[in-house]
Each structure stands twice: as structure tokens, then as C-alpha cells.
Structure 1
């Protein structure tokens, strides 16, 4: 039979504090009531009970009861803090016992243990602050802020050395929120801003060079993507925005020039009566720019270009057939003639 050893409780009920506060609460309540009764009795035996006597007696009573209630609330807070700390410690002990019994720490969530430990520390901090005076609490707060500022500035410096600018900014924001009077806030903010400006400038300069290389290679889509990513990284930078706009304009100009050249190429081949090359160029143009204004003109001329391309091919095949006949290669000539008739049945050469 397995036995479980329970760890000793690390928290004890602050009995002395509870008893002292309870006695003071009862004393204030009784003293306020007694003072009110005594004031009324004395007044009734001497000059009579006047209005101000009643008001003064009421103040004695209310003051005593209020002081007693405040002290009694402090007693309740101390007890509640003790019970919460005890429950937290029991939860931690239960987790540790479970890990020890099963022989594995896989069932223990480190985040839960860390959270419970933080709760335990906060409760202990509250208990300590309850018994400190205002001056003592202020001195303690100053010491804690100094230690926190030293820790955060060390972490910020390390983050800056490692070029972890987002992490450095997050810790700097935490320092400004928790220790707003620290002179390190302005110092490190200036350093971080200067480093970020230099890093941003270097990134922009490198990206500009890369974008120009892509544009020189006619890779305008890749250049536009790269420029847009830069503008997204630095939305406040006019240089990044200007780069993206420049790539867009240059890309549109490049496409317009290429479209113009491809369209002129069709006419050039047609003028030279190289109809098959004109047909190929027309195909490429319509595939690349099917919706432009020039595409309608190409479609209107396409039937003529196609017919002329067929005639051009038939003439070349006819010349090849004649050459085969002259060389007395009649079977090959017959096969080629049949191929011409099957492919171009409506041409004059087929007839």
C-alpha cells in the first residue's frame, strides 16, 4: 500500500495580527458606543440634552462603529489571503505529488506551476503590505521599481545588441508603464529610434537595388511584389511608397511598349508577305492582350492573315511536290499531294 507524504504548509495563519485587529475593532466599536451613551447621560444630568449633544453623540457612535468595521474588514482580508495562499500551496503540492507518484513530469504543466507560484508571491506581497506604513510601502515600491528598471534596461540593451527591435520596444514600453520616471526610458527610446531609422534606411536601399535589378530583367511582377512588401513593412516611409508607385508606372509603360511592338510585328510580317509568321504573331498578341483596343483590329484582319498563311504553306508544299516529281520520287510526291488535299481541300492548289 502506497503512502503519500504531505509537504508541510509553508503558510501559517497570522494569528497575532488577526487577534490584534479583532481586539482593536471591538474596542473601537465599544468605545464609540460608550462615548455616545456617556455624553448623553452627562448632558441629561446637567444642562439637558441639546441638539448639538445628540449630533456629537451620534458622531462618537458612527466613528467608533466605522473604525471597528474597517479593522474587521482588514481581519477578513488577512484571513482570505491566508486561505487563498493555502489553497494555492495545496494545488502546487498536489501537482508535485502526482508527478512523483506517476514517475513522470509529463502530467505537470509548467505554465500552471508558474502561474500558481506567481499567485502565491502576489498573496505574500499583499500580506506584507497590510502591516507596512505608508512610508515603508513607498520605500519598498521605490526599491522594487529600481530593481525592475535595472532588469529591464539590461534586457533592452541585450535585445538591441541582438537586433531584436520588436522585443526591445515591448520591454521599453513596459519600463515606461511601470517605471515612468526612469531616465533610461528616454535614453533607450532615442537609441532604439536611431537604430530603427538606420536599419530601415539600409533595408530600403537594399530593396531599391533589388527592384531595379528585377526591372532590368523585365521581371516587373516580382519587382512590384518586392516593392509592395517594402511599403507594407514601412507604411510611414515616403521612399517605400514612391518605390512601389514607380514600379507600377514603369511596369505599365513596359507592358504598353511590349504590346505596341507585338502589334507592329504583325503588320511588319504582313507587309513582307510572311503570312505564317504574321499568324503566329497574331496568336501571341491575342493570347497576351485579348481585351485591348488593338485586339479588335487584329481579330478583324485575322481571317485574311490565316487564309494567306494557308496559301503560303500550300505554295511551299506544291514546290516540294514538284521537286519530288523532278527527282522521280513519285510515291513520296503522291503522299505529300494527298496530305495537301486533306489539309487544304478548298485551295486552288488542292484542285
Structure 2
């Protein structure tokens, strides 16, 4: 038989054999009933009649069974031929690609790649050979081989669970244990291995919690409480049942709130200090900073009650500073600059005492500035 050729479908032959098998059984059955009917009608029913009936029934059944078996064997032979043909074509393709892979590259760097390709092809050929063997095995032989392979994999999984647990790799140990439960749910070592993996998981979580707590401590020491809170929340999301994670997040929130309280009190103290020293603009700037950072805090409410006073006093303070600058310019006979500053003061702070004082002097300032301008003309 040419295993490289695509085998033709035996379906027509199988169908004919099955039809003949059915006809043989039907003919045997019909013949038996015909003999029975003839002898009953003639009143000559005897043991000979029963013998002929049995012979016809057995003959029809045997002929039908033989024909059905021939049809099944044809179909089975066709299926095995297809499998062997696929295996032969795959092996032939690999054999043809092997020499090309080896001879394609003569340079030094190509050699490792070719060796890797040869190893991969060897593995594929080995798998195809194993498939060919499995096809030729009987059902009992395949079952025995499967149990042998399954036992080997189970032993490897047991070793992997123990090795991963001993190395502290709890996720790998859990993965191997889950695979073992799937393959061998009645394995006698499952209870012991579950305890081993549970201990490894506990140690793994404790180590991860300790590392996370150390990272959070560093963030809090650097004043990065938002990042510390986010890290603690992620840790609690991973281990919601661990009290260490709950305690860590509560501590971060508590210390963050303590820091915010300290900052609010320090900012309020700065406002009060500047106001006591009558540095009104500095006090107003500190108050606005507090309101922007903590608008809903009790300290912000306290500052709001004095904000109008701080604003008015800051305006008066700035107006007085402008007035002093104007006086300095007048003392140095820089009348034009003094006039410009006076107009700016009256425009920005019209209700202050400094503005009222300057309004009474504007005519004289304008006269002096005009005289200064005429004196500078060529």
C-alpha cells in the first residue's frame, strides 16, 4: 500500500455491505416465518419445522453479522490509512526541510540557530512516532500507557508543589496543586500538600506585607501621604482578610490626618502672627493660602471671619507705602513721577486717608510737574 497516496473513501462499499447485511437478516427472518406459516396452514407442524426455522434464522443472522463486520473492517482500515498517510507526509516534509536547514547557512553565527531547528524537528519527529505507536496500540494498551504517563505527571506535580513551597514561591505551588487536584482528585498526598501550600502562602503573604509596610513607611517619612495611602489601599485590596493590611491603612489615614491638622494650625498661627505684627498684606496672603488648601476646615472658617478686616488693612498698608514713596519722590524733586504715583493711589484706594490727603495736593503737584517739564525743554 502506498501510504503517501490519499486513500479513497470506502463509503460506497461499506454502505453496500451494510445493506446486504440487513437484507440477509431480513431474508432469514422472512424464510423462517414463511416455513412456519406453511406448516401451520397444512397442520403439519413438527420438530423438523422448528429446526428449519432455526436454521434460516441462524443463517440470516450469521450472514448479516459477517457482512456488517466486513463493512466495519473496511472503515477501520480506511481510518488507519489516513492517519498513517498524514504521519508519513509530515515525516517526509521534516526530512526534506532538515538538509536545507543545515546547509542553508555556512557562516558561524547561523550554526546555533540550525542546531535549535534540528532539535525542534527531532522533537516533532518523536511526537509523530509516538502518535504512530498509539494508533497501532489496542484500547487496553493505550489505557495502560495513559495511566503510566498520568502517574509520571502526578509524581512530577507532587515534587513541584513541594519544591515551590520550600522555595517560598506560593503562587507556583498553588498552581501545581490545582493541576494535581484536577488530574488526581483522590491522591492520598492532597491533604498534606494542601497544608504545605497553606503554610507557604502564609509565609509569602507575611513577607509581602512586611515589604509593603516598609515602602509605606518610607513614603510617609517623605511626606508623600497620598502615595502611601494608595499603596496601603492596594495592599488591602489584595489581602482584605489580613489584619496587618487593615491596620496599615488605618495608620496611614490617622497620620495623614494628623499631618493635615498640624499644617492647618501652623498656617493659622502664621496668619495671627503677621496680623499681630501689623503686616497686613503678609497676613492676607497667609489667610488666602489657608483657604485654598483647606477650605472646609475649622481653621478656614475662623479666618473667613477676619478676612474683611485683613483685606481692608492690607489696602491701607499698601496705600501708605505708596504715599511714602510719593513723599520721597517730592523730596528729590521728581514731580512728574510723584504725580503719576499719586493718581495711581487715588484710583486704586479712593476711600483711604492717604487718597483724601493727596486729593487736596493734586493741584500743587500738577503745577510742579508742569514746571519740571518746562524746565527740561531745550
Give 2:362's aligned residue. Answer: none
TM-score, reference length from structure 1: 0.66
> Which aligned pairs between 1:1-351 and structure 2 lie closer than 5 A?
44=35, 46-47=48-49, 59-60=61-62, 63-103=65-105, 104=110, 105=113, 113=121, 116-117=124-125, 120=128, 123-128=131-136, 131-132=137-138, 134=140, 136-212=141-217, 214-215=219-220, 218-248=223-253, 250-252=255-257, 254-255=259-260, 258-259=263-264, 262-263=267-268, 265-267=270-272, 269-270=274-275, 272-290=277-295, 302=307, 304-313=309-318, 315=320, 331=332, 341=342, 344-345=345-346, 346=349, 347-349=352-354, 351=358
Is contact 2:31-2:53 (8 Å) kept? no
CA distance in 1, matches of 2:53, 2:275: 120
CA distance in 1, matches of 2:167, 2:220: 34
Q: Which moved more, 1:279-288 or 1:46-55?
A: 46-55
Label 1:252 to 1:39 Cα distance change in 2 as closer, same or farther (>3 A): same
CA distance in 2, matches of 1:111, 1:314: 91
**Per-residue deviation, 1:218:** 3.9
Structure 1 runs not aligned, ≥5 long: 1-11, 14-26
CA distance in 2, matches of 1:118, 1:237: 50
CA distance in 2, matches of 1:95, 1:169: 42
**Per-residue deviation, 1:227:** 0.4
CA distance in 1, matches of 2:243, 2:52: 82
CA distance in 2, matches of 1:51, 1:238: 87
CA distance in 2, matches of 1:235, 1:91: 56
Kindly provide the CA deviation profile for residues 251-310 of structure 1, in whole angstroms up to 9, marking residues without a partner as x.
356435644653565355435533122112123123323566876875675454233124
- For the residue of structure 2 that corresponds to 1:278, the secondary structure is helix
Aligned length: 320
Structure 1 or 2, whichever has the larger Rg, is: 2
TM-score, reference length from structure 2: 0.62
CA distance in 2, matches of 1:331, 1:110: 99
The RMSD of aligned alpha carbons is 5.0
